[in-house]
Amino acid sequence: MPPATVSVSSPSRATLPSLSPRRYAMPAPLTTNATSLNGTANATGARIAAIVLAAGRSRRMAGVNKLLIPVAGQPMVVRAAAAALDSRARPVLIVVGHQADRVRTALRLLVDRDVDGPGQVSRLAIIDNPSHGEGIAGSIRAGLDALPSGVDGAVFLLADMPWISAGHVDRLIDAFDPAAGQSICVATYQGRRGNPVLWGAAHFPALRTLDGDAGGRVLLAGLADQVKAVAFADPGVVTDVDRPGDLPSRILPPRPD
C-alpha cells in the first residue's frame, strides 16, 4: 500500500515571509568541510555555532518525510535552516540522515557563497549522520564532531519547528554568559521549555553521552544552576510538527522576523 498523502495548508492567521531571492536563490554546491568555518561573537566575546537536527525518519507522518512538507511554500527544513542562517550563529551545520539526498536538494536553495564577503567559504555545511536510525542522540554527536575548534557554544534547532526565527536564535546568543551562570540558554513560552537551546562548550562532553532518542533535556535537571530561561511571547518555540494533522489543525502565528 502506498504511503498516505499529506496535504498541508498554510496557517489561516498568517502569511509567512518568503525567503529573499537575493540571498537564497544561488544553487551552488554546499560545503561539507566545517573545520574552515568561523564562529561569531556575542557581547561577551563568545563564538556561537548553530546545529540544525534534520536526520529523523518522520515515523509518525504516515510515510511522508515531514521535513520536505511545504509550509507557506517552503520545505519545513528550509525554514529551519534559514532561521539559523539569518542569525548571528557561525557556522550553521545541518545534520541529515533519512532521505539525505532529497533533503540536500531542498537545502540547495539556501546557499549564499558571498554571505561572509567575496571569496569567503560558505558558512553552511551539511553533515551526514549514517546512524540516524538510532535516534536524535547520534545526530547531536555528529553535529558536535563537525564543529570547528574554538567554538564556545552551539544553538541546537529542530528542523520540524518551522516557526523558529533568527530572532529566537539571536536572543539566546545574547543571553549566553557562562561567567554569570548562563551557560545553557533555553527558549520558553509561558513558562514551558521549548527549542532552540544554546549549550555552552563545557557541556558538549555530557551531550555526547546521550543515547537513542534522549535529547539534551534529560540533562537539564542536573544543571539547573547553569540554565537561563529566555522567554518569548510567541508559541513558535514550543510548536513542532509530529503527525499528519498537526499543521492543518493548529492556528499558529506568523514566524517573527
Q: Tens digits of per-residue pLDDT, 119-149?
A: 444 688 999 998 877 889 999 999 999 999 9
Nearest residue to 164 via CA among 234, 92, 88: 234
What mean pLDDT comes out for the span 192-209? 97
Is 231's pLDDT higher than 70? yes
172: left (phi over 0), alpha (psi -120 to 50) or beta: alpha
Q: What domains are defined for the chain?
A: 21-239 (3.90.550.10)
Mean pLDDT value of segment 208-236: 92
> Could you tell me what percent of the chain has a pLDDT over 90?
45
pLDDT at 182 over 80: yes
- For the segment 151-161, what is each residue's pLDDT rounded down to a tens digit? 999 999 999 99
Mean pLDDT of 212-233: 92
Task: Quote the pLDDT of residue 66.
Answer: 82
Q: Is the peptide bond before 196 cis (omega within 30 degrees of 0)?
A: yes
Between these two residues, 132 and 246, which has the higher pLDDT value?
A: 132
Percent of the chain with pLDDT over 70: 70
Residue 171's pLDDT band, with cuts at 50, 70 and 90, is very high
pLDDT digits (tens, 9 = 90+) for 85-122: 999 999 999 999 888 999 998 888 776 433 454 444 46
Cell of 62: 504516515
State the pLDDT at residue 57.
Answer: 65
Average pLDDT score, the chain: 77
**60 band by pLDDT with thresholds 50, 70 and 90:** low
Q: Scan for cell 532529497, then name that residue.
A: 102
How many CA atoms are closer than 13 Å to the CA of 93, on its beta-carbon side? 31
Strands 92-96 and 47-54, by their bridges, are parallel
DSSP 97-134: BTBHHHHHHHHGGG--TTTTSTTPPPSEEEEE-TTGGG
The set of long-range contacts for 24-29, using a CB threshold of 8 Å and a minimum separation of 24, is 24/82, 24/109, 24/110, 24/111, 24/112, 25/109, 26/111, 26/112, 26/113, 27/108, 27/109, 27/111, 28/108, 28/111, 28/113, 29/111
- Three cell numbers written together for 23: 540571498
Helix, strand or coil for residue 84?
Answer: helix
* Spatial distance between the Cα atoms of 68 and 15, rounded to a whole number of angstroms: 19
Span 65-88, mean pLDDT? 87
Residue whose C-alpha is closest to residue 41's, from 166, 147, 157, 170 = 170
